[in-house]
Amino acid sequence: MAAARSASPFNLADVEAYRRWRDARLSGYPRATADLIVPVNDPRALTPAEHEKLLALVRKTNMVIYAARVGDDPDKEIPRGMARQFGLERINHNWLADEDAVTSITVNPEGDHPNFIPYTNRPIKWHTDGYYNTGADQIRAMVLHCVHPAAEGGENALLDHEVAYILLRDEDPELIRALMQPDIMTIPARVDEEGVARDTSTGPVFSIDERTGSLHMRYTARKRNIVWKDDSASRAAVQRLEALLDSDLPYIFRGRLEAGMGLLCNNVLHDRGGFSDAPDKPKRLLYRARYFDRIRGS
Ligand SMILES: [Fe+2]
């Protein structure tokens, strides 16, 4: 989406460009999680046909789920190799990531940060990854690869952030105007749920990537340690977005990653259900790699 700025569908003044883009976006949009799943043999070495199918879905929905024939192989090159084939190179060295910058998401009561939600079995509300980042440090894409699913639970819900934008803008463009305010969302300075001490971070929910013209979203549905701009337009917009995510939209995909499956996406909205491990089964283990790049060709 390298539209010239003047013809950007995200320009609120250009209703025609928006309509054209919106209609194309929603036409033939997948309606079932199964439509998002592409079987592949080895994510580390995709065939041209596999690559093409994966990219076609990412172009349509900003996400794709691959189902690879790698079983519970714990090789971290699986998510990294997959990502590399889509131009994802600039990986985020999250300080809790392992040395290779791939984060192992698993319940680890003995770890350094047993209470940070990602490393517990608790549910995680709707969010985009790295919502507390501002400026150039936006997480634009990620891979989430499942080595072992939980004995029970651990499903994800997924929503293309461009569809969230469309639904809000169709309801009232003022909702979008509010969510694009550069001071609508503030994460106070603190040690966050991932253990990272950071400065106060203030920024918009929706923004346009200057370089690619693509839509970016920062959001979390969490209630603590977040301050929304306190005026009626901002409150209304945040409430509408919240209600959208709480609803039974046909655009929300729900499912669970099983061993060998993974999500490749342009940091779409997602949540995680709570889960439980069983003593006689391997613990739930997912690998997460986050990138400052957007998926090439999407
Ligand atoms: Fe996440």
**Would you call 108 exposed, middle or buried from its count of C-beta atoms within 10 A (0-12, 13-18, 19+)?**
middle
| Cα–Cα dist 256/154, whole Å | 7
| pLDDT, tens only, 281-295 | 999 999 999 999 999
Q: How far is the CA of 72 from the centre of ligand 1 (A)?
A: 21
- Taking residues 62-69, report their average pLDDT: 98
Q: How far is the CA of 118 from the centre of ligand 1 (A)?
A: 8
| Cα–Cα dist 294/212, whole Å | 9
Q: How far is the CA of 270 from the centre of ligand 1 (A)?
A: 6
Q: How far is the CA of 7 from the centre of ligand 1 (A)?
A: 32
| pLDDT, tens only, 176-222 | 999 999 999 999 987 766 666 778 899 999 999 988 999 999 999 99
Among residues of the chain, what percentage have pLDDT more than 70? 95
- Residue from 96, 99, 116 nearest 107 by CA: 116
The pLDDT assigned to 119 comes to 87
| Cα–Cα dist 235/290, whole Å | 30
Q: How far is the CA of 135 from the centre of ligand 1 (A)?
A: 19
Q: How far is the CA of 127 from the centre of ligand 1 (A)?
A: 6
The pLDDT assigned to 2 comes to 45
Res. 1: pLDDT tops 90:
no
Please state, rounded to an integer, the average pLDDT across all residues of the chain.
93
Q: How far is the CA of 73 from the centre of ligand 1 (A)?
A: 22
Q: How far is the CA of 80 from the centre of ligand 1 (A)?
A: 17
The pLDDT assigned to 3 comes to 44
Sheet holding 227-228, edge to edge: 201-203, 185-187, 227-228
Q: How far is the CA of 11 from the centre of ligand 1 (A)?
A: 28
Q: How far is the CA of 267 from the centre of ligand 1 (A)?
A: 8
